[in-house]
């Protein structure tokens, strides 16, 4: 890879007619500009914090800013060093690579580059205004150099971005194939399960008068139930998710999810408390899917909590990146999540239950993603489980019909 880049750089230098003269001018430019490096750097970051889109990619606070100032200094030193060898090329390549990694669009890099160029040019104009010949030479060299530098950084950015996109496409394709395979497998398995079910139930009917066989038949039947449920969940997880949004009341959906667990609640002292302010209770969601999400929370809580189990759903407005969400908190009075559970709770096939497929949370996450929402854990150390379901808040624009009614 590096050889190709070096070759490319060589071609670029030829194309821009980079000569020994330029090497000489660089030395003069360095003497003039290097002392101003701290000024360039201060201006550069002062400008960045004024642009939220760019500042967004800087996530490490002041310490990261300090590190970035250091790398900008290295960049300026490298630029003016006069040594444009493989090492220089490699460092420029890393800049492009890093921008892809942090998700900084090349457009911003181009603009930032332009800003630095402008400042360097101003200093040259000021310092060399009495020697127009030198000014002209230095300006030409500086522009050549900056153009070469930016060409390298953007070539690296484009190459890295393409490589990542190709990798992602391959990964997506692989996942799609696995999904199709699993769906096919589950369907075929269901036919076999139907035969198994048919034979078991036939036996049950034939052996009705032989109670000694009943426990074994019951076990057979339970095993088939478990297998059926596993296939249903795997199919749910693998199948494409198409939402059917309608205007719904979240409290109603949560209540239905709770009621659907009557078998799990049988003989238990379990209570669902709900406190959802009326203005946060309505949204355009897929009722069936959202019920699945709540059911999954409740089922996990019921499995984890000792009696009396108390589950609580509350809601509050939240702003994230300027977008408005409703945050539904689902909390219980159980033991909470272990450190390893916190890390893996949303991974497919992760489970702490003896009888779980481990797909519940992964499916819930898919459903929430499809709604444009987020699924998060409350802070570590909270007592009991604490899940945060964030759904985008869409302002209900009253239709003409609603207004008439009102």
Partner 1 sequence: MSRPLRIAIADDESEIRDHYSKIIKRLGHEVVAEVDTGLALVEACQRLHPDLIITDLHMPGLDGDQAVREVWKTEIIPTILISAYDLPKDFPPDCVKVAWSYLSKPVKRLDFEAAIRATMSM
Interface residues with partner 1 (CB under 8 A) are 187-188, 190-191, 193-199, 201-202, 204-205, 224, 228
Give the Cα separation of 318 and 207 in Å (integer): 60
What is the smallest separation between the CB atom of 222 and partner 1, expressed in angstroms? 12
Q: Which of 301, 309, 239 is nearest to 268 (CA)?
A: 309
Quote the least distance from Cβ 195 to partner 1, whole Å.
Answer: 5
- In whole angstroms, the minimum distance from the beta carbon of 213 to partner 1 comes to 17
Please, what is the minimum distance in Å from the beta carbon of residue 243 to partner 1?
16
Nearest distance in Å: CB 197, partner 1: 4
**Residue 83, token pair as written in the block:** 């040594």
How many helices (H) and strands (E) the chain has is answered by 15, 7
In whole angstroms, the minimum distance from the beta carbon of 215 to partner 1 comes to 18
Task: Return phi, psi of residue 344, to 5°.
Answer: -115, 5
Give the nearer residue to partner 1 in terms of CB position, either 8 or 190: 190
How many Cβ atoms sit within 10 Å of the Cβ of residue 136? Answer: 11
Cα gap 386→377, rounded to integer Å: 6
* Smallest separation, CB 342 to partner 1 (Å): 35
Choice between 218 and 252, CB closer to partner 1:
218
Distance in Å, CB of 236 to partner 1, minimum: 12
**Dihedral angle computed from the Cα positions of residues 360, 361, 364 and 370, in that order, rounded to the nearest 10 degrees:** -130
Measured on CA atoms in the order 135, 141, 144, 149, is the torsion positive or negative? negative
The residues, any chain, with a CB within 8 Å of residue 189's CB and separated by 6 or more, are 227, 231
Our CB check for partner 1 shows the closer of 225 and 402 to be 225
Residues sharing a CB contact under 8 Å with residue 319, sequence separation 6 or more, in sequence order: 325
Scanning the structure block, which residue is given the tokens 């914090």? 49
Measured distance CA(106)–CA(99) in Å, rounded:
8
- The answer to whether the Cα torsion of 284, 287, 288, 293 is positive or negative is positive
Output the smallest distance, CB 186 to partner 1, in A.
8
Nearer to partner 1, 105 or 204 (CB): 204
- Phi/psi of residue 307, nearest 5 degrees: -75, 145
Nearest residue (CB) to partner 1, 110 versus 183: 183
183 vs 318, beta carbon nearer partner 1: 183
Output 3 or 191, the one with its CB closest to partner 1.
191
List % helix, strand, coil for the chain (3-state, nearest 5).
Answer: 65, 10, 25
Give the C-alpha separation, 260 to 271, whole Å: 14
CB nearer to partner 1: give 135 or 207.
Answer: 207
Q: Which CB sits closer to partner 1, 205 or 400? A: 205
State how far the Cα of 145 lies from the Cα of 93, in Å rounded to an integer: 15
**Which residue's structure tokens are 């596993």?**
230
171 or 194: CB nearest partner 1: 194
Instruction: Quote the tokens at residue 400.
Output: 């003409």
Gap between the Cα atoms of 290 and 257, Å rounded: 9
Quote the least distance from Cβ 5 to partner 1, whole Å.
52
């Amino acid at each position: 890879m590096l050889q190709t880049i070096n070759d490319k750089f060589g071609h670029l230098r030829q194309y821009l007619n980079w000569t020994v003269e330029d090497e000489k001018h660089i030395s003069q430019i360095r003497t003039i500009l290097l002392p101003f490096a701290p000024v360039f750097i201060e201006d550069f970051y002062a400008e960045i914090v004024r642009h939220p889109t760019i500042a967004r990619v800087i996530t490490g606070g002041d310490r990261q800013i300090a590190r970035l100032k250091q790398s900008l200094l290295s960049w300026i030193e490298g630029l003016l060093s006069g040594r444009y060898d493989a090492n220089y090329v490699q460092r420029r390549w890393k800049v492009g690579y890093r921008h892809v990694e942090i998700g900084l669009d090349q457009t911003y890099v181009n603009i930032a580059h332009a800003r630095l160029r402008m400042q360097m040019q101003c200093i040259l104009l000021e310092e060399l205004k009495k020697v127009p010949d030198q000014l002209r030479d230095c300006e030409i060299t500086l522009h050549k150099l900056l153009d070469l530098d930016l060409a390298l950084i953007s070539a690296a950015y484009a190459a890295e971005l393409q490589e990542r996109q190709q990798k992602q496409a391959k990964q997506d394709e692989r996942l799609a194939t696995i999904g199709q395979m699993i769906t096919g497998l589950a369907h075929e398995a269901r036919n076999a399960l139907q035969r198994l079910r048919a034979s078991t139930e036939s036996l049950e009917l034939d052996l009705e008068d032989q109670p000694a066989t009943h426990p074994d038949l019951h076990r057979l039947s339970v095993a088939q139930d478990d297998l059926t449920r596993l296939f249903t969940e795997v199919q749910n997880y693998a199948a494409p998710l198409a939402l059917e949004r309608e205007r719904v009341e979240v409290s109603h959906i949560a209540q239905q999810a709770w009621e659907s667990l009557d078998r799990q609640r049988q003989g238990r002292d379990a209570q669902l408390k709900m406190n959802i302010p009326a203005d946060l209770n309505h949204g355009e969601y897929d009722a069936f899917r959202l019920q699945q999400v709540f059911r999954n929370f409740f089922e996990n809580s019921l499995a984890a909590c000792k009696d009396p189990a108390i589950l609580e759903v509350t809601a509050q407005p939240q702003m994230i990146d300027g977008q408005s969400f409703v945050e539904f908190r689902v909390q219980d009075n159980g033991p909470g999540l272990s450190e390893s559970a916190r890390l893996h709770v949303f991974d497919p096939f992760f489970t702490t239950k003896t009888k779980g497929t481990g797909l519940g949370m992964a499916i819930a996450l898919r459903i929430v993603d499809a709604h444009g929402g987020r699924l998060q854990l409350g802070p570590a150390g909270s007592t009991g489980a604490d899940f945060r379901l964030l759904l985008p808040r869409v302002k209900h624009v009253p239709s003409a019909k609603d207004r008439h009614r009102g």
